Structure 1
Amino acid sequence: MAVGLLTASCEKDYLETSPTGSIDAGAAYATTKNATAAINGIYRAMIVRYLDSQGHFGHPAMMIIQDILGEDVIIPNTASNWHVSETRWQAHRNATSVGNQLPYQLYYRLIGNANIAITNIDNATGTQAERNQLKGEALGIRAFSYFNLVQLYGKRYDAAAKPNAQLAVPLILTPTTEGLPRATVEEVYTQINKDLTEAATLLTASRTYKSHINLDVIKGFQARVALAQQNWADAAKFANEARKSYTPMTVAQYQEGFSDIQNAEWMWGFDHLEDQTEYFGAFFSYISSNFNSTVIRLDPKVVNRVIYDQIPATDVRSKMWVKAPTAANSIVPTGGVRVAYMTQKFRLPGTPSTSTMGDIPYMRASEMYLIEAEALARQGNNAQAATVLFDLVSKRDPSYVKSTKTGTALTDEIMFQRRIELWGEGFRFTDLKRLNQPLSRTGTNASSAVAVIFDVAAGDNQWEFLIPQREINANKAIVQNPL
């Protein structure tokens, strides 16, 4: 992993600067060949377990957590207690919980290593094209990490209130362990956009592996960031450019299990190699329909019935969940329970599957279609938005008719399509937050014994993760979010 275990912090045993198992940064970035190994280590650090917790396996765990914080991915019972405190909105409001510390440690670890790459790569022996590629990837990783942090630990970006002076997270741009104060939301977004703009000048669409960031992925990041900032024109522009080289999957491909990075629609993801198994601490151990784990056997994830019941039977996405609890066509591991509205979307080869070696989708072209359609609709370009939406949804449902809706009715339709298309891929919590909408599980099939919390008003303090207590203790320059 080279320097892939380095973290950015102040307390030496919490965010170590020269940990056992890493090599000196100078050696790691002496050549572009060595630097490539170091960058690979950063990608690998995205999916390992954190805080010695099986259920907190890096960014893929955050994808699940950010969806169960919403109302569309539901834990039906507590036969397995993994992520129950997250769905109850307890973990992220407890400064000492693993669920609260995970994103802070994860994304600052990525940032710390990206900073080392950005600082050292210009002097590496190799070609300029190689240096550009590696620096562009590091800038993309840093921007991606800060985008995740600012959305979780800061308040939402408000385009009508520039500059957004709300506190976000410390903005660390060089290899350091000095404790820094929290930057503002505006300052963090400014840096994110600066990093992405520079990365776009360094990267091309060419790459060897989809697990690595290229120019298309950078444009996808720019589309995501612009959407969060309510910069509708840029969101539509970048989303359109990002998706140009990717084809929406066919109806048949949609039913293959969302576990193969070679799918033509996937833009970026984790390519799970055979020598990198995480066993029970992996994405498919918690969200698939057929991995042979206790979580999957006893506590399969289910979809919010309110949105499922609106999906036409002609839409392939209606097959991604099984409404009848005893349906024989549901795929479960041996001894697995069958519950109403259980997922079939994420599936591994074999029944039951004894391997968690599924690839993980970080970015798909369908997301870009949906960003473009939403951004166009919010600008009042109803006909163009409806066309982009049709280009995607007609691939899911051959009977779909192009929408003639306008205004709020059209954006509501786009958001419905976003909810069913991106279910389980980590967008619902931040979608609610960026749109300043409340959490409402009332009327869903969420269990009161499991979910506990059903309604959170828009703008409530609970939409911000608390700064981890370990960082509060170690960094005298930082302050806590309102309790």
Structure 2
Amino acid sequence: MKRININIAIAILLASVVLSCNPLDLDQIDDPNNPSVSSVTNNASKEQIQFLLTGLESRHRGYVTNISQAWNTFGRETWYLNASDPRFQTDWLGQAGRVPDRSYFGFGNTGGGSWAAPYQAIKQADVLVTSAENASVLTDAERRAVSGFAKMIQGFQFMIPANFVYQNGIRIDVKDPLNPGPFVGYEAAMDHVKSLLDQADQELSSAGTGNFPFRLTPGFSGFNTVEGIRQVNKAITARANAYRADWQGVLTALDGSFINLTGNLNAGPSHPYNGPPDAFNPLFYVPNAAINTIVVVHPSVLDDATPGDLRVARKFLQRTTAVTITTDATPLVGTHQDARWASNTTPIPFIKNEELILLKAEAHANLNQTAQAVEAINIIRSAAGIGVYSGSTAQAALIDEILYQRRYSLWAEPWGHRWIDARRYNKLNEIPTSYDQGTIFTQFPHPQAELSWDQYVGN
């Protein structure tokens, strides 16, 4: 574990990205003690490829903190209560008529974890692909394995800004940071995601069998073979296809994924956190700590829970003393905190078996395959201890049931599932604002940095 921590630290240094007005630009490092980007893209050694790969895994988790705090607030899965800065409440909740603009708090300069961090990971993956292509020490199979892994991460990461700005569109051509391509709409962005994931699968399918040729962090424990990475890639593809409303595509992708209808619902790859010199789990808060900055369970999640739901008991800890933050609109009272993380080094899953089973249910429901949809729903309900589904089997009713189960099975995961789900089904108006007198946002504009960059390049 100590060696992994050191490798992560070195990889982060090697893959350092300087956040300037252009988040797409990788700094050309001149430090003689650390390789420059050009040195690793021109006949890199296996050790340099390893550092870049480990660095990509680190970049891959860069979105976690911002999205967990913000997107889950937008969908009212949580409140991020922060007594030191009221904007985490007033702005993120859209109180007193506040609406997103290019300089919106937490996102306006670089877009934070919703914009800059994903593009940094995407650019890091570009460097890794180029380095692998030009590395004479790699076999063709090793080259394809590395390229497939990198493109899988790119597909995952492009979904983050795409779902952040939604119909405002994102740049998908960022090969040249000084001359990025135009913005494309949500549908085109998601098609690009699908294309990258398909390319990743093709690369991995040509990479032979057996173990992945380089070391992966413990986040990929159980998936550190070429076939294991392909299964993760197919799982991500299933999520992307749901966003594309390609329901048969969801089922096809799931067939090649790690879905297991009788297996551990929490099985799946994760983001590891090992402590110094690596990072701590950013979602862990000491139980019942005397604190006034914390993520708390949104009251509606508690109010709407099914009696006896085991997910409530497992995920939510009722605090001995509630956390109260007073805003101009109304006091916000957090009675429960997140109980999912045993410690500050617990890994955070980024896609898991439970989501895949719910995607299967959703795809079947949308294809009017009622029996299969109910079967998948009942796997989730039985695990939650709330019995089998006995409601209407009309398509709309099944979709409502699936969205309800996703709300508790995928609660507050670093993706903002409920916000995206409600938008996908035109149900944003069903997210309650009565608890905070706020507003539910549909999408965000491009960060000011994007506008400034276009003006700079145009001059």
Which category describes the TM-score, using the shorter chain as reference length?
Answer: 0.7 to 0.9
Distance in 1 (alpha carbons) for counterparts of 2:84 and 2:314: 23
CA 1:307–1:408 in 2, change beyond 3 Å: closer, same or farther? farther
Mapped contact 1:136–1:198 kept (Cα < 8 A):
yes
Paired letter, 2:70: I
Counterpart CA distance in 2 for 1:138 and 1:217 is: 13
Gaps of at least 5 residues in structure 1 are 49-57, 156-166, 250-263, 331-337, 350-355, 457-461
| Residues in 1 aligned to 2:238 and 2:338: alpha-carbon distance in whole angstroms | 29
The counterpart of 1:392, out of the listed 359, 374, 380, is 380
1:124-145 deviations in whole A, cap 9, x for unaligned?
Answer: 1222332122101110121112
* Residue 144, structure 1, aligned to residue 134, structure 2: no
* Aligned residue among 29, 45, 54 for 1:31: 45
Name the residue aligned to 1:177: 178
State the alpha-carbon separation in 2 of the partners of residues 435 and 7 from structure 1: 38
Tell me if the contact between 1:65 and 1:87 (Cα under 8 Å) persists in the aligned partners: yes
Q: Relative to structure 2, which stretch is displaced further, 79-88 or 108-117?
A: 79-88
SS in 1 for 2:245: coil
| 8 Å contact from structure 2 (residues 298, 334) kept in 1 | no
Match of 2:408 in 1: 420
Counterpart for residue 283 of structure 1: 282
**SS, match of residue 340 in structure 2:** coil
The answer as to whether partners of 2:172 and 2:181 remain within 8 angstroms in 1 is: yes
Deviation at 1:275, TM superposition (A): 2.8
The correspondence for 2:28, drawn from 18, 22, 28, is 18
Change (3 A) 1:470 1:393: same
* Aligned counterpart, 1:228: 243
Secondary structure of 2:351's aligned partner: strand
The answer to whether the Cα contact below 8 Å between 1:302 and 1:340 also exists between their aligned partners in 2 is yes
SS in 2 for 1:343: strand
Between the aligned partners of 1:430 and 1:477, the Cα distance in structure 2 is 33
Change beyond 3 A, Cα 1:189–1:76: closer
* Alpha-carbon distance in structure 2 between the residues aligned to 1:68 and 1:20: 41
Task: Tell me if structure 1 keeps the 8 A contact 2:28–2:37.
Answer: no
In 1, the alpha carbon distance for the partners of 2:149 and 2:85 equals: 38
Deviations 1:74-107 (A, max 9, x none): 3467466473355324585342643342122111
Amino acid at match of 1:447: D
Q: Structure 2 regions of 5+ residues with no counterpart?
A: 1-10, 224-228, 323-331
User: Are positions 1:123 and 2:138 aligned together?
Assistant: no
Looking at structure 1, the residues matched to 47 and 406 of structure 2 have their Cα atoms a distance apart, in angstroms, of: 40
Q: Is 1:240–1:372's contact at 8 Å kept on the other side of the alignment? A: no
Match of 1:473 in 2: 452
Hey, what does 1:380 align to over in structure 2?
368
**Corresponding residue number in structure 2 for 1:318:** 312
Give the whole-Å Cα distance in 2 for the aligned partners of 1:248 and 1:83: 39
Which range moves more in the overlay, 233-242 or 202-211?
A: 202-211
- TM-score in terms of structure 1 length: 0.74
Change (3 A) 1:305 1:186: closer
1:401 matched to 2:388? The reply is yes
Question: Which whole-Å CA distance do the structure 2 matches of 1:105 and 1:71 have between them?
Answer: 24
- The correspondence of residues 205-216 of structure 1 with structure 2, limited to 5 A, is 207=212, 209=217, 211-212=219-220, 214-216=229-231
From 332, 337, 345, give the equivalent of 2:339: 345
CA 1:114–1:324: 2 relative to 1, 3 Å: closer
CA distance in 1, matches of 2:150, 2:405: 32
Give the TM-score, by structure 2 length. 0.78
1:41 corresponds to: 55
What are the equivalent positions in structure 2 for 1:70-109 lying under 5 Å apart? 70-75=75-80, 78=83, 81=86, 83-85=88-90, 87-89=92-94, 92-95=100-103, 97-100=105-108, 101-102=111-112, 103-109=114-120
1:242 aligns to 2:247 (yes or no)? no
User: Residue 190 of structure 2 corresponds to which residue in structure 1?
Assistant: 189
Question: How much does 1:209 deviate?
Answer: 4.2
C-alpha root-mean-square deviation of aligned residues, in Å?
3.4
1:253-268 alignment, distance < 5 Å: 265-268=266-269
Quote the offset at 1:319 in angstroms.
Answer: 0.5
2:49 is aligned with 1:61: no
- For 1:439 and 1:3, the matched residues in 2 are separated by 46
Counterparts in 2 of 1:278 and 1:83: CA distance versus 1, 3 Å: farther
How far off its partner does 1:388 sit?
Answer: 1.1
Structure-2 separation of matches of 1:266 and 1:476? 46
- For residues 283-306 of structure 1, the C-alpha deviation after alignment (integer angstroms, 9 at most, x for no partner) is 225xx45285x7xx2354333444
SS at match of 1:273: coil
In 2 relative to 1, CA 305–96 (structure 1 residues): closer, same or farther, beyond 3 Å? closer
Does the residue aligned with 1:40 lie in a helix, a strand or coil?
Answer: helix
Structure 2 residue matching 1:467: 3-state secondary structure: coil
Question: What SS does structure 2 have at the residue aligned with 1:224?
Answer: helix
Distance 1:145 1:91, change over 3 A: farther
Distance of 1:364 and 1:86 partners within structure 2: 31
Contact residue 78 and residue 412 of structure 2 kept, 8 A:
yes
The answer on whether the counterparts of 2:170 and 2:183 sit within 8 Å (CA) in structure 1 is yes
Q: Which residue in 1 is equivalent to 2:226?
A: none
Quick check: 1:372–1:388 contact (8 Å CA) kept in 2?
A: yes
Instruction: Decide whether the 8 Å contact of 2:288 with 2:319 is kept in 1.
Output: no
Distance 1:276 1:66 in 2: 28
Q: Secondary structure at the match of 1:424?
A: coil
Q: Which residue type is aligned with residue 471 of structure 1? A: E
Deviation at 1:248, TM superposition (A): 4.5
1:65 and 1:313, CA in 2 relative to 1: closer, same or farther beyond 3 A?
same
- Matched residues in 2 for 1:267 and 1:13: separation? 30
CA distance in 2, matches of 1:31, 1:40: 14
* Aligned CA distance change for structure 1 residues 246 and 202 (closer, same or farther; 3 Å): farther
The answer on 1:447 being equivalent to 2:436 is yes
CA distance in 2, matches of 1:91, 1:361: 31
Aligned length: 410
